[in-house]
Every structure is written in structure tokens, then in C-alpha cells.
Structure 1
């Protein structure tokens, strides 16, 4: 199968702080171990908002860089060394391609690649250290793509990398035990996909804590057994009440609010586990002495290592998790600035905004 690929495409380019413009760029050509994907949809998350105002480490310079890391689409060309996927295949992706030579990459933790940002040593991260999916076409390493089952829509697949974050986080923790009680703080896309994932993997009680009732309602509709509005209730006291005073076996923090890591600590049973999935603008206050006295184990996870997206994809294909209902707003690529203005202002109560080339 041969697909005719144009020489020029439309792509959003970051020209300066919060200055994202749709311009024409050459269509990239896949290297030996890469594929060219025609983008069907690319989601926007809080990190995409953050990198527009303050560049991340390894980010390409203003005037050339196209962000976007939550994308999905169809393979339209292959590098000379690629035979693992056919042209015409619909695919989901994970973000990070590690160098493949450092100790972390060799054990599957390529999101913690020791050569992060060093393209000469083989590292890349779509939408962070190389051009991403806010464009009509994007190249990606063949090891970082996943063929989509026929029963999954673009909306489902665009949230799969988000679900992969929770699956990888659970790997870092050492998994969960069937029957565990898990608290998820922050009912955004990461939090709601995480709540669904832990329920699918055997957590009996899943308590979601947040400040926006419409998001808590969605978490409940998608499988959370209890929700706690932290505006109207003391979240620590409420979790303690819901667990009969014992505390949760695991707390997963995905909100990024500076107060919530310490709140999560107070929600745990003695010997419990705290998993941090969020990023924070500034250092946070954390009662390390309490954690030590209670023998709390602290874990962090960045992104979707150990091919976690592939496992999340299987959960979605089996109907155990779903991202489609999280997609609340769709914009054409040419209106990308309007979409990000909505995210910043929160007008229209956006959950997941996606852009369609």
C-alpha cells in the first residue's frame, strides 16, 4: 500500500511564551527506524500549557518547535528498516524513546533515560525534545507505537498514553493487591484514567478526591466507588471516615496542588504507599518525620515506561477503562490558540481538549 504524502503541512509552532501559531512546515521524513504518522487527533494537557510559558529541558528553540505529545493517527510511510507495522495501520503512541544504552533504558525505564534530551545518543520525546503532534504529520520511532484494535475510537486512543502513566506508576509501586483501597487525588484526565485502571486491576474501594464537582461526578460514573469534594469536606477526615479510621492502602496524587502530597500522606494506613504522578510548579511541604514514623513508602513515576501504554491499550480494548467521555472539546488545528485560551480560563469546564488537523 502506498500513500501519497505532501511536501508541506500545517503545524503549530511555538514562537515565544504563549505565542503558538499555525504555519506551513516541511513534512518530516522517517529515519531508518521511524514511521510517518498522519495525525488524526492530538490532545492538550497541563504540561502543554506549562511549556508554552516556560520551556522544558531539551526543548527545541522558539520559532521551530511544534509541541503536542498526546497524539494518534495512521501510518503513511516507513523508514527503510521498519517492517513491524503496515502502512494504513491506526496507532497509539508512547512519548519517550530512550537512548537504549543507559542502565535505565536497558531495564525498561526509558522515561528516566540518563541521556534525556541528547539526540546524538538516540533519545527523543515527542512534543518535548522533538516536534510533536500539533501538526498534520509527525515522525516517531517504531518501538513507540501500538496498533489500535478496531473497536477503539480516536478519542479512546488519544487518552491511552495518559492511562499508561498510571499503569507505569503501579509498576513503580510494585502493583496493588486485589481488595486494596486506593485514593486518587485530582480528578483530571490522569486521575480519572488512574481511578479506572486501579479498579480494573482489582482495587475494591476507589476514592477520588477533588475540588470540581462535575469532575467528581464523571469519576463516579466511570467507576469510582466514593468521591470526596475537598471544598465542602476535610479530605483527610473524610477518607479516614470512609476507611473506618484505618486509612487507605495506597494514595495516588495526580492534582499537582502543593498541599495534596502531604494530605495524601495523612490519608494512608500505617505502612501504606504514596505514589506521585503530578508535577509541581514550586517545592512542596512534606512531613517526612510522619512518613518515617508510619513507615510510608514514597514512589514517583514519570510518563509511561516499560511499555505501559500497550497494557493500558489492552484494558481499553476489553472495555475495562475508557477515555472517550473525558474528551469534552474539539477544535480544528487552525483554532489551537482558542483551545489553549479555554484551558487557561477554564471557561466551558474543559476536561480534555483535542485538536484535529
Structure 2
């Protein structure tokens, strides 16, 4: 059991008036400053942040290229975080002070057509102030701070055997699991390809094994990540710089192609490869963001009756499901955490992520 699991909750917490928080002042300009500790409103809790992960989306936000974020000079990013509840807002009885919690990024408004049917990551009131929608670290302040507020409907209590490092990756796993869920969920006995051995891809490999896929092939370009994928359950790894992934997947599947291809890499040329390695009447799931428009042979997908699905974020209550898998030993998240930085060094952490200095896998900030 790790040290952060052993920390005992307390009945009361001393909450300061101010905290340290990273604020984005412009593209590439993030500074750690003093800010007032936020107060939880109705249906919210105040969380002392224990750890917040970084990812490619954070780099887009850092560069000022992500839509609908709050104004520069006011906004604290960070959307993969976990911590300890220290104060409760009005009407909150689902949590207690001292509870260790992990988050879903998105809390929908609860009133639009999409939220009513459970599609809250596609909330029609996304980023509209006053409507109740919150995407932590994206449309509202997030977890690159000592404290953050969060909606109770997007929080999950952490089992005792889950560390904060595990919990950060459980949020990541929720993204992969939501994509699988949107595409039907049932893959027992089928052949799956996961493209992209980043954190989402590596957690998705484990999810597919938990869902009884017959085989899980991981495709990427960095041997260190592919080897980690093999340790985490991939039955086959393919370095796309050395081997044609389409030909190899076809070979592994007797010429038919994979039943599922899950694209997590965001490489502009990858969607077309996904079509080519998918079985007739198979499924492709896209969970990645891309740097710009992509070109693909859509006619080939139509000829092969391939179904293509997209999903955003970790909707459908799938963080809760991923947490249950992690608690049962089926998801290993902490092994992906390669670098830890104090909050004051967040700019350096972003540099390491961008430049891949030291072959980072998951870089986390510890306030």
C-alpha cells in the first residue's frame, strides 16, 4: 500500500484563506500565484488536491489553442485530479470531510436534452456561464492548485486500496471505457487493436483485457511504451516505424482484420490505417483529438460496412466502473506515473511533456 493510501482522514480540516494555484496568463505563460481558496456552492464540495495529471489536452490549453476555456489571467487548468474532501456545500450529504475522491472531468447542466438522456459530456450548455455545466480545468478552474471545487455528481469515493496516482489514471481510463461503452461495450472473445500507447491507450489495453477480449494488439512508435503495454496485458505489440501495422494486424487475424480498433493516438494519418485494419462489419472508436483536419478513405469504410464511433471524455458513469476494476486489481495506474513535479515547477513539467525529456509517460503535479 502506498503512502498516500495510508493517510488517515480527519474529522475537521484547517482551510486557509489563500492558496497557490497555476494561472494561465496567455499562450505559453503559466504562473503560480496566490488566489483565494474557492468556496463550494450548493451540490459542490471543496477538495484539497493531492495530485493532478498532465496530458496532451493540457498542452493545447497551455498554448491557447483549446476552445471555450475561461479568459487568460483568471483560469487554472488541470482536469485529471484527485484529493481529499475538506468542506461541503449546501445540501451535500453524499460525501464527508476526509473522504478521498477521484473526479470525472465533466458535470453537465442536468437540464438540456443531452444531459437528460445521460450524454453530459456533450452538454448543450457547454461553457455557458450560469447554466451549471462544469468541465474541470477546461471550462472552469481545475486541479493545478492546492484546492478545487467540484460537483458531487462527478465525484467518486476512492477505495482504500487505490492510491492517488492510481486515481488520476482511473479518470484517464474512464475516457477509454466510455468510448467502448458508446460502441456497444461487448467485446468478449473478439480481437481488439489499440492504437497509441499513451496513458489512455495503455489504460484501454487493460480495460479490454478486463472485458475478455480474445486478443489486444497495441500499435505505437516508441518501444518503451509498447513494452510497458505488454507488461500491462497487450497480447501483441507492433512498432509502426518498423512493421506495417495493417499487414501485421491482418496476419494476426487470419486476413480478416480486427473486430475493434480503438484510436487513442491523434496521429493525422492513423484514421485511414484504422479502416484498413478493421474487419468487415467491425467497429472503430475514436477518442483522440487531432491537430487539424484528417483525410481518410470513407468509401472503404462504407464498402466494408464498418461502424465508426466517437466519444468525448469519460461519460456514462464510466469512471465509477473503472474505479471498480482498479479496486479489484484489474487496472494498474500508478505504474504509468513516470514524473512528479511540485506545483511551483509546473512550467518545467509542461516542458518535459512537450519535449518528451526523459521519456515521460504520465507527468503529475503534486501541489
1:299 to 298, 309, 316: 309
- Tell me the distance in 1 between the aligned counterparts of 2:353 and 2:58: 10
Aligned-residue offset at 1:153: 0.7
TM-score of the two chains, using structure 1 as the length reference: 0.99
Q: Is the 8 A contact 1:7 1:26 kept in 2?
A: yes
TM-score of the two chains, using structure 2 as the length reference: 0.96
Aligned to 1:285: 295
Aligned-residue offset at 1:54: 2.3
Aligned to 2:108: 98
Aligned-residue offset at 1:107: 1.4
- Tell me the distance in 2 between the aligned counterparts of 1:55 and 1:266: 31
Q: Does 1:223 align with 2:223?
A: no
Aligned to 2:152: 142
Q: Does 1:79 align with 2:89?
A: yes
Aligned to 1:324: 334
- Tell me the distance in 2 between the aligned counterparts of 1:53 and 1:47: 10
Q: Does 1:343 align with 2:332?
A: no
Aligned to 2:66, the other structure's residue is in SS state coil
- Tell me the distance in 2 between the aligned counterparts of 1:348 and 1:272: 38
Q: Is the 8 A contact 2:341 2:365 kept in 1?
A: yes
2:280 to 270, 283, 292: 270
- For residues 281-324 of structure 1, give each alpha carbon's deviation from its aligned partner in whole angstroms, at most 9, with x where no partner exists: 11101111101100000000100111110000000000011111
Q: Does 1:308 align with 2:318?
A: yes
Q: How does 1:50-61 map to 2 (within 5 A)?
A: 50-61=60-71
- For residues 165-197 of structure 1, give each alpha carbon's deviation from its aligned partner in whole angstroms, at most 9, with x where no partner exists: 111111110112311100000000000001110
Q: Does 1:22 align with 2:26?
A: no
CA RMSD of aligned residues (A): 0.7
- Tell me the distance in 2 between the aligned counterparts of 1:242 and 1:354: 36
Aligned to 2:127, the other structure's residue is in SS state coil
Runs of at least 5 residues in structure 2 that lack an aligned partner in the other structure: 1-10
- Tell me the distance in 1 between the aligned counterparts of 2:63 and 2:247: 37
Q: How many corresponding residue pairs?
A: 357
Runs of at least 5 residues in structure 1 that lack an aligned partner in the other structure: none
- Tell me the distance in 2 between the aligned counterparts of 1:3 and 1:154: 19
2:262 to 228, 252, 265: 252
- Tell me the distance in 1 between the aligned counterparts of 2:335 and 2:190: 26
Aligned to 2:5: none
Q: More displaced, 102-111 or 219-228?
A: 102-111
Aligned to 2:171: 161
- Tell me the distance in 1 between the aligned counterparts of 2:184 and 2:116: 19
- Tell me the distance in 1 between the aligned counterparts of 2:107 and 2:129: 10
Aligned-residue offset at 1:55: 4.1
- Tell me the distance in 2 between the aligned counterparts of 1:54 and 1:140: 24
Aligned to 1:122: 132
Q: Is the 8 A contact 1:118 1:124 kept in 2?
A: no
2:221 to 199, 203, 211: 211
Aligned to 1:331, the other structure's residue is in SS state strand
- Tell me the distance in 2 between the aligned counterparts of 1:80 and 1:299: 39
Aligned to 2:130, the other structure's residue is in SS state helix
- Tell me the distance in 1 between the aligned counterparts of 2:131 and 2:146: 27
Aligned to 2:4: none
Aligned to 2:7: none
Aligned-residue offset at 1:356: 0.4
Aligned-residue offset at 1:351: 0.5
- Tell me the distance in 2 between the aligned counterparts of 1:49 and 1:95: 17
